[in-house]
Every structure is written in C-alpha cells, then in structure tokens.
Amino acid sequence: MKKIINKTEDIVSEMIAGLVKTNPKLVKQIEGTTAVVRNDVKFSQTKQVGVVSGGGSGHEPLHAGYVGDGMLSAAVAGEVFTSPTPDQIYEAIKAVDQGLGVLLIVKNYSGDVMNFDMAKEMAEADDIKIETIVVDDDISVENSEFTQGKRGVAGTVLVEKIVGAAARSGMNLADLAALGQKVIDNTKTIGIALQAATVPAVGHPSFELKDDEVEYGIGIHNERGYSVEKIKPSKELAHQLIEKIIQEFSDQTGKFVVLVNGMGGTPLMEQYIFANDVLNELADKKIQVAFSKVGNKVTSLDMQGVSLTIMKAEDSWIDMLEEPVNTIGW
C-alpha cells in the first residue's frame, strides 16, 4: 500500500486540519472534535434550521465539503468508513442550533443510524428539536426486512443540496424533514467498481477483481455487489445501469436529475464519457433531464468506478439544485 499519509490513526484529524486551514472563510473545526461548522459571516447573522450530516471518512468531499451557506450547517467526520461517535454529532448539533431545530441527514448504515440516534437523544435532553432523515438510495440491494435496508450512497449529496437550499429559504424543521424524505423516495442509485478501495488500516483492496472484470451494485465501503461481469464499453455500461434504475420509476414523464459520481480512483475524463452515454440514452428514451452533475462527489477512497443516480424531481427541486452555493465540494 502506498498512501500520502503519516500515521493511519491520524488520518482523519490531519485531513480535517488541512481542510479547515485551506478554507478558513468557509469552515472551522468544532474544538475537540473532527466536526466542521460554517464559518461564513452570514451564518451568525441569519437564523435558519440547522442541517447536520456526517458519516465515516473516505467519501470526501462528502460531508465536510458540503458545509456552507445553502447546504450543510455542519458535518461530522468519523474514522475511515466508520460512523462518527454520538458526542461529536451532539457537539455539531449544539454548534448549529439557532432555536429553530436541527435536521440530521443520515446514510442508512446500522452504525450511522445508531450513533445519530444516540446524539439525537442527547440533544433532545437539551430541548433541541431534532428530526432525522435516512438516505437509502442504493437500489442494488433489496429493501427487505431481512437486511438493514437499502444503503445510502451518492444520492445523499443531492438530498443535502436540496434540503440545504430549502433551509436557507427559511423552511421549518417539520417541512424540511418531509421534503428530504420525498427527495430520498425519488432518488435511485447503482454503483459499479473496476477495483475495490484500499482501507489504510487494512493495507490492501478488500476484494479482487480481474483486469477485465467489473462488479455491479457495489456500496461505498467495499460492500460486494450483485454480479461480476466482463468490462464493456461505456455505452453498454450506461445502458445496463439505466435499464435497472429507470424501472424503479413508474412514471417516466416530468423532469429528471442525473448524477454521475466518481468513486475516487476513476479519472474525470472517463466520468464525462460515461455521462455522455447516459444522457444520450436517456434522450433516446425521451426522458427529460433538467439537471445533471458529474464528478467525485461521494467517493470511496481510491475505488475505481462510478455510480449513476437518477432522481425524479419536482420543478422547485431543480431550482434548489441550481441555486449557487459556496462550499468546497458542490
């Protein structure tokens, strides 16, 4: 394993230190934690519902890269691929609550759900109003009662953008939670990997794929997918993923949003090629794409691969996605 790091146990604290030092106008670190909070002038001058997210590290720019006016109020970074702890989440909640309550955006993993739950209990004991929405956009896993349910993956960034914009516009806590849930329900993602990620503390990729193999349905923590096949031209990969995702939408009229997300180790060049194929195929299918985005938004360390997210959107969501925002990563 070759990584530009010092000690593996210092990865998260040093990453946060670097992120804060290079973006002092946008974010500051909450003392004694690996959480960051908005540091722009407007933050202390304008009241709004706080929006806090967080999760394991290794998905940058998620979540700290999305802290800023119009998106997240604070983000909590856990260890690599490991949920942050309740005390840290609680500190982030306290740092952003302006008396209007705080919305927690949690990706659907048992660890994240439990730690955010404990933090919610701590904050409620302080009379801070809390609502939680759990993102579960990954349709590659069955949403059955016999599993944790679908995972929260790249669609999370779209949820954070829309909810963040609505919070900035003054929406109240209950309405924000309802909006967030509606966005989640209309957001579907599948990821593919050409190579698994190497967790620094482990030192080697978590699973092996041959040079000519691609795995469908992987998660953002090296969770295995539903099938391994021979690699195909981008056009065919796009076709396969679209076919699988689009059947999730019973009504294919109206406006759609597309996110082509790089997993960390795939060049933007390839992401744009794939995005071109996705948009061409959707145009052929007469599916109207009103907003699209390409880039490394929700990564999985150095995993090679992409994920495709398609969202059926209301007009107001498109506006909220298009609103300018000042963050490190959007």
Partner 1 sequence: MELSLADTKKWIELFVQKVESEKSQLNELDTAIGDGDHGTNMDRGMKAITDAFSKKEPEDIVSLHKTVAFALIQKVGGASGPLYGTAFLDMSKKAKDDADLTTLIQTGLAGLKRRGQSDVGMKTMIDVWEPVANALKADEFNQSVIDEALTSNKALVATKGRASYLEEKSKGHLDPGAQSSAYLFEALLTVLGA
Binding residues for partner 1 (CB under 8 A): 9, 56, 78-87, 109-111, 114-115, 117-118, 141, 146-148, 151, 199, 201-202, 206, 219, 221-224
The amino acid at residue 313 is A
Could you confirm whether 59 is annotated as catalytic? yes
- Catalytic residue, candidates 59, 63, 204, 239: 59
**Complex with partner 1: residue 23 or 189, whichever CB lies closer:** 189
CB 295 within 8 A of CB 35: no
CB 309 within 8 A of CB 278: no
CA 58 to chain centre: 11
Distance, in Å, from the CA atom of 186 to the CA atom of 151, rounded to the nearest integer, reads 14
Nearest approach in angstroms of CB 94 to partner 1 is 16
**Complex with partner 1: residue 118 or 231, whichever CB lies closer:** 118
**Complex with partner 1: residue 143 or 280, whichever CB lies closer:** 143
Nearest approach in angstroms of CB 84 to partner 1 is 6
Which two three-digit tokens encode residue 210?
A: 């041959």
**Complex with partner 1: residue 145 or 211, whichever CB lies closer:** 145
Q: What angle do CA 63, 64, 69 make, to 5 degrees?
A: 100
Distance, in Å, from the CA atom of 117 to the CA atom of 136, rounded to the nearest integer, reads 16
The amino acid at residue 191 is G
Residues near 134 by beta carbon (within 8 Å), at least 6 away in sequence: 106, 107, 108, 113, 152, 184
Reported in sequence order, the residue ranges of 90-226 that DSSP labels E, i.e. its strands, are 102-107, 130-135, 187-195, 213-216
Nearest approach in angstroms of CB 195 to partner 1 is 16
Nearest approach in angstroms of CB 259 to partner 1 is 22
Could you confirm whether 221 is annotated as catalytic? yes
- Catalytic residue, candidates 63, 204, 221, 239: 221
Calculate the dihedral angle through the C-alpha atoms of 146, 55, 299, 304, rounding to the nearest 10 degrees.
-50
**Complex with partner 1: residue 20 or 118, whichever CB lies closer:** 118
User: Phi then psi for 106, rounded to 5 degrees?
Assistant: -120, 135
Nearest approach in angstroms of CB 221 to partner 1 is 4
Q: Mind telling me the catalytic residues?
A: 59, 221
